[in-house]
A and B are shown apart, each in its own frame.
Chain A
Amino acid sequence: MFKMENETDNELNSPISNDSGSILVGEGVLLEGRIVNAKDTNISGTYNGSVSSDSLYISKNGNLTGDIKTHDMTINGKFTGDIRTENSLVVNSTALAKGNFEYSTLEVKFGATIEGMVKHSGSLSTFTPSEKIPSQEEPHDLDAQSLDSSSEDNN
């Protein structure tokens, strides 16, 4: 199912090594779930779920459905969902992207399909590519904390 020799063909524009933080969903693979704290993510197969990664690359045959948080993102294939990129979002001519796009720099090549809300945000000061896992609750909400004076939740 994992054809390693074929996967290298798709890596010309997105070097993926055995470095920590890299994830590759190879062509023909169907994966569902949540990707957190990744450095380089390459979607050449089909992935349904959220991604939090420094850089995210969707190959021409890649198909991604979900919520994305990245610094840099390149779309060559299909995407449906919400994207928040702190730095650059590149939508190439073969791309078919639908959803909500929040970006700092947006580049769209002639021929691409991009549909939905596009929003420029110059400075995302609160942005962290390493998404907090929801179970690690933080007392960020003072009102909620004062209401829950009995700290049974932390036990």
Chain B
Amino acid sequence: MSIFGSQEKKENSEDKFTFPLSSNTNSHHSFISDDLEINGNITGKDYIDFNGKITGTLRSNKIDIREKGLVNGEVHAENLIVAGEVDGEIKVDDLYIRSTAKIKGVIKYKNIDIQAGAIITAELIKTI
């Protein structure tokens, strides 16, 4: 029980600390910084601004995989912009591939737009 006692003291001190982004809670915009490496799945319903590295599945309505973003696994979205790297499977409605993108694997799309310069080695499948 002495362990709990010490933890309570820590929690009290943390209450004084306010997280800088906590005021921006009016929308479900999630930001994954390039400092983060994730093993597992991320599931959102709104928008993810992805700059990190993930081994697993990334799923949300709208996803931006930025230049520093790296996905090893699957990406599911309705609207996806890829400027970074994806190795695996992409399943989206509207896909925008930027010139800096590197994609390997399988791409299932309804609408696709590829900027010149992107490096893609993949199987393209149009879904209805």
Using a CB–CB cutoff of 8 Å, the interface residues on chain A facing chain B are: 88, 105-120
Q: List 5 A-B contacts (CB under 8 A).
A: A105-B117, A106-B118, A107-B116, A114-B124, A114-B126
Contacts of B96 in A (CB 8 A): 110
B32 within 8 A of A: no
A-side interface mostly? strand
Tell me the smallest distance from the CB of A149 to a CB of chain B, in Å.
42
B30 within 8 A of A: no
Q: Which single member of B113, B118, B121, B126 contacts A109 (CB below 8 Å)?
A: B113
Contacts of A109 in B (CB 8 A): 113
Are the C-beta atoms of B126 and A107 separated by less than 8 Å?
no
In the complex, A118→B119 CA distance in Å? 10
Known: A106-B114, A106-B118; 15 extra A-B contacts, CB below 8 A, are: A107-B115, A107-B116, A108-B112, A109-B113, A110-B111, A110-B113, A114-B126, A115-B125, A116-B123, A117-B122, A117-B124, A118-B121, A118-B122, A120-B119, A120-B121
Q: What is the interface residue range for chain B against chain A? A: 10 to 19
Tell me the smallest distance from the CB of B54 to a CB of chain A, in Å.
23
Contacts of B116 in A (CB 8 A): 88, 105-107
In the complex, A108→B96 CA distance in Å? 10
Are the C-beta atoms of B123 and A117 separated by less than 8 Å?
yes
Tell me the smallest distance from the CB of B123 to a CB of chain A, in Å.
6
In the complex, A106→B121 CA distance in Å? 11
Contacts of B81 in A (CB 8 A): none
In the complex, A111→B121 CA distance in Å? 20
In the complex, A131→B104 CA distance in Å? 30
Are the C-beta atoms of A120 and B120 separated by less than 8 Å?
yes
Contacts of A120 in B (CB 8 A): 119-121
In the complex, A109→B96 CA distance in Å? 10
Are the C-beta atoms of A114 and B112 separated by less than 8 Å?
yes
In the complex, A114→B120 CA distance in Å? 13
In the complex, A106→B116 CA distance in Å? 5
Residues A119 and B117 in contact in the complex (CB < 8 Å), given A108-B112, A110-B111, A114-B112: no
Which 8 residue pairs are nearest across A and B when measured between Cβ atoms?
Answer: A108-B114, A110-B113, A107-B116, A120-B119, A105-B116, A119-B121, A120-B121, A118-B120
Contacts of B120 in A (CB 8 A): 106, 118, 120
Identity of the chain B residue whose Cβ is nearest the Cβ of A103 in the assembled complex: B120
Contacts of B117 in A (CB 8 A): 105
